[in-house]
Amino acid sequence: MVEPLEERHEAALARLVALEGDAPLRGAPRPASPEATRAWLADVVRERRARKAFAFVGRSDDGELAGVVYLGGASRRTALLSYWLAPNFRGRGLARAIVQPVVDHAFAQLGLARLDAFVVEENAPSRALLASLGFRLAGRVLGTTAPGATGEDAPVLAYVCPRPTHHRGAP
């Protein structure tokens, strides 16, 4: 299940971030702390109200908060997709279950023409997920433009997903 990220998710989000030990999403403060998580969440909610960014939480089958999907830098035509699952939920196919509805929402409800995503080269599961969702590799960049990038010259892969001819709806 996917739903918009709201202030009421603060405690659960702080617990998830604590599992990772670092900020899981682009733009989230580093190092992660309850105070930093609260401030980031307030910024995300403010950006959603301004229609500049959209964040969603994904839940596991048992209803536990499992991850976050973020559409940042939203313009009339494009947005940057990033997503994160808590370590204890990885490897179970849940990423697809929470990212796919948000991708569909971006095209069907927000009317975006393209989504961009960045992933560190070593993150094979994320690269496979993006490819399965219709993203195609656009190139390599150097820098810390993706979660998990560890240094200024970390290789990061840039992916692009154009608006599909058929889309599935909204989360």
pTM above 0.85, yes or no: no
The confidence band for 129, taking pLDDT boundaries of 50, 70 and 90, is very high
Q: What is the pLDDT of residues 76-85, one digit of tens each?
A: 788 889 898 8
Q: What is the pLDDT of residues 134-159, one digit of tens each?
A: 999 888 876 654 454 444 555 677 78
In which element (H, E) is residue 56 found?
A: strand 54-59
Half-sphere exposure of 3 (CA within 13 A, CB side): 11
Q: Which among 76, 56, 74 is positioned nearest to 13, based on CA atoms?
A: 56
86 CB neighbour count, 10 Å cutoff? 23
For residues 152 and 15, the model is more confident at: 15
- What is the rounded average pLDDT of the residues 40-46? 85
Structural domains present in the chain: 2-162 (3.40.630.30)
In which element (H, E) is residue 131 found?
A: helix 124-132
Q: What is the pLDDT of residues 58-69, one digit of tens each?
A: 999 999 888 889
CA distance 121 to 140: 9
Q: Which among 9, 8, 40 is positioned nearest to 22, based on CA atoms?
A: 40
Residue 16 dihedral angles phi and psi, to the nearest 5°: -65, -45
pLDDT reported for residue 58: 92
